Structure 1
């Protein structure tokens, strides 16, 4: 059992209801931490244990006592999956929800696409894409206001994941809008179901197109693995039809939305902390330092649903996560825990000695695409601030509106002036 600090406020009699809009997530995360290492929360009507202490969270993320396989280890799964707006997060058949040997099988099928050599080979692709985007922005008149979430943070990850997955150019905008819906926790169950139907329709079209015209992309590779195996999860080791489709869903959504948010957050943090930007521009810190501190302070994902207790788990404060209880990994709250980063945990400091974080998860479910995301964000920042060194926000920091989500952590827009007019 890990040792964790005692709660600073009493354990609430009823679950803490998480705000689906994420309007004031920093205050909410502080509240979660005040109740100790773990506290029961209400996630759109579903009870779960929010884990905000980094030590306990790391232990549970690597423990065989905790599973991501809802049908196998969550007694409420069949009931919840029918009515919960976030049912797609728990009902997919891919490595995101797999456990044990099944998870290893699915991860091994995808891992070859993310080798160090292949990711390094994408560096030039990323630089060329960012340069082309900035060329277009550079043509705007001096003083013009532009939304960098819309015109940089969005198009780059969409283009990179499209390149990697073989998504045709004319389908990328449609994928973007439907993936956005997956992360929107203000949608009703009916609206999410409709969004999921559209998304699966596009995935089926992509599979059919790549099956007829295969290429060097990951989609073609997974289709070949699926077709050559020839069984629909009988006793073979390949992908079932559902696993193929849901694996593509995971790769496209995880490789897109999260990177958009980190680019968005990194730019906004630098523009709101000009002293930190000057440090980087003068060589006092690297763009890699900015990426890691952004991932720590404003991770792309605030909470990640769901995991499940396979056995009773006793907590240091006397509470027990009972076998079959749902568990919510509260990454953003853990990243700012004073136990981990001291009294300055809420500060943006690109020269912080330790920028350790859980933004990409921990343990066997650690994000395969983390190296690629880091390249995309660092390249975007380096080229953006080199091209537009006087870049500034076109609104007050307090006017930046958070995305309507308790999962996704970004802004609805990031208005800036690329070339402010001198006065």
Structure 2
């Protein structure tokens, strides 16, 4: 059960373990549309929780994601390389760029994830969950299986490998290191080592695709580098963005969707009977449990006065956008915002994929994966249930909203047949 902790002073010290993200989001929301918080290392910031304020800030020309240009503590060397969030602010890609630089770095990603390219992948994506479910079915109907490790994690990884052209021998290595990038409670030496391991794999991926190019996003970005549009670092950091953030979002979408559907059988029945489209299930899951709870960091380029709230952000102020808190804002979802309800009229009114110039380029791909995965899983295992629904352990992160494990008992399997998504 989610509980709301008592306010713990101003600024509010975020729980680096992310033990109760929803409770913390509710507490922060109660303190106003944005409130002062402390990040790892007691770095001060604002946590922005009100969806209206979030939308205004994310399209404001005076809000940047470029720490190299607009965050004085970073520019002045006050933020060490061992800081838990250093990778999030130090990379040079579309996630952190500002203005014309953002447009330049985002352009090839938008082309790579155009609706036409993404929809063309649907037949290949549809085959992936059936292969994973065949493996799970071999465990037997009464055995406990970890659906996060063996389904929610693997499906997006294989889709990412398909899209990016990642060779088979790098699948498991990437799987082992991605999670550490989202942990916000690591000791300094581990926080510093995690990106180094990922970059080593990215270098191997780039070297492989330079020797053996294909019709994939990595090859496309390598061509951008060859033509002078991307530097070597921008090439590597763009791949880091796609491999890590894109993957983690979809993993947590599947994780929470499975959890909610397995524990709300009446709502699951609406979807399996076709009374509610799987698309609606995906949107309510994104609203109810934003896969990325909070995204660091944005910076005020100059003083910003938000007239509707009366808040003033000073030049250089750091902002964390709390998408989890926004998803359950009572003014956006007046009918029991904390409840999972696939019939909700406002299910699509969420910001789980961001808003404005930095809207996630892979949002449509993630939605397609969710629809295909939920339909395939519950068509094959209609009586699936969680083995310990009240005892799921959260990831140690205030960024990534998921579980360490998702133990489930599959029950008898139906004959495999491709479901409609």
TMscore range, shorter length: over 0.9
Please give the alpha-carbon distance, in whole angstroms, between the structure 1 residues aligned to 2:366 and 2:380.
Answer: 21
Indicate the larger mover: 406-415 or 78-87: 78-87
Work out whether residues 82 and 191 of structure 2, in 8 Å CA contact, stay in contact via their aligned partners in 1: no
Is 2:43 the partner of 1:46? yes
Q: Which residue of 2 aligns with 1:249?
A: 240
Q: Deviations over 1:279-331 (max 9, x none)?
A: 21222211111100000000110000000001212355654211110011000
Q: 2:83·2:191 contact (CA, 8 Å) conserved in 1?
A: no
Indicate whether 1:298 and 2:269 are aligned.
no
Number of residues of Structure 1 aligned to a counterpart in Structure 2: 404
Q: 2:55 aligns to what?
A: 58
Q: Residue 7 of structure 1 aligns with which residue?
A: none
Q: Which residue of 1 aligns with 2:418?
A: none
How far, CA to CA, are the matches of 1:215 and 1:187 in structure 2? Answer: 37
Runs of 4 or more above 6 Å deviation: none
The 2-side partners of 1:50 and 1:142 are apart by: 45
Kept after mapping to 2: 8 A contact 1:166/1:219: yes
Task: Give the Cα separation in 2 of the matches to 1:283 and 1:319.
Answer: 46
Residues 1:393 and 2:389 aligned together: no
Residues 1:203 and 2:202 are matched in the alignment = yes
Q: Given the superposition, is the C-alpha separation of residues 186 and 11 from structure 1 closer, same or farther in structure 2, using an over 3 Å criterion?
A: closer
CA contact (8 A) 2:328 2:337 kept: yes
2-side partners of 1:278 and 1:228: how far apart?
A: 52
- Distance (Å, rounded) in 2 between the aligned partners of 1:95 and 1:166: 20
What's the secondary structure of 2:396's corresponding residue? coil
CA distance in 2, matches of 1:106, 1:201: 22
Structure 2 stretches lacking a partner, 5+ long: 1-5, 414-421
Q: Which residue of 1 aligns with 2:18?
A: 22
Q: Distance in 2 between matches of 1:284 and 1:220?
A: 42
Deviates more, 1:67-76 or 1:270-279: 270-279
Mapped partners of 2:188, 2:218: distance in 1: 29
Distance 1:389 1:14 in 2: 48
Which residue of the partner structure matches residue 124 of structure 2? 125
1: CA distance, partners of 2:7 / 2:396: 28
CA offsets 1:236-286 (integer angstroms, 9 cap, x no match): xx0011100100100111221111110010000011111211221222211
Does the 8 A contact of 1:81 with 1:91 survive in 2? no
Over the aligned positions, Cα root-mean-square deviation in angstroms equals 1.7
Q: What residue in structure 2 maps to residue 333 of structure 1?
A: 325
SS class of match (2:350): coil
DSSP-derived class of the 1:79 partner: coil
CA–CA separation in structure 1 for the residues paired with 2:271 and 2:130: 20
Q: Deviations over 1:97-148 (max 9, x none)?
A: 0001110011112211111111111111111111111112222222111111
C-alpha spacing 1:11/1:64, structure 2 compared with 1 (3 Å) = farther
> What are the equivalent positions in structure 2 for 1:225-304 lying under 5 Å apart?
225-229=224-228, 238-304=229-295
SS in 2 for 1:176: helix
Q: Is the 8 A contact 2:305 2:312 kept in 1?
A: yes
Q: Quick one: distance in 2 between partners of 1:132 and 1:292?
A: 25
Query: Which sections of structure 1, spanning at least 5 residues, go unmatched?
Result: 1-9, 230-237
Deviations 1:197-251 (A, max 9, x none): 111111111111111221111111111221132xxxxxxxx00111001001001
Contact residue 287 and residue 382 of structure 1 kept, 8 A: yes
Aligned to 1:233: none
Q: Secondary structure at the match of 1:57?
A: helix
Corresponding residue for residue 4 of structure 1: none
Within the candidate set 5, 24, 34, 2:30 is matched to: 34
Matches of 2:257 and 2:46, distance apart in 1: 30
Q: Does the 8 A contact of 2:156 with 2:247 survive in 1?
A: yes
Residue matched to 1:416: 408
2:354–2:360 Cα contact (<8 Å) kept = yes
Q: Which TM-score applies when normalising by structure 1?
A: 0.92
Look up the SS of the partner of 1:404 in the other structure: coil
Kept in 1: contact 2:7–2:27 (CA 8 A) = no
Q: Secondary structure at the match of 2:298?
A: strand
Number of the residue aligned with 1:378: 371
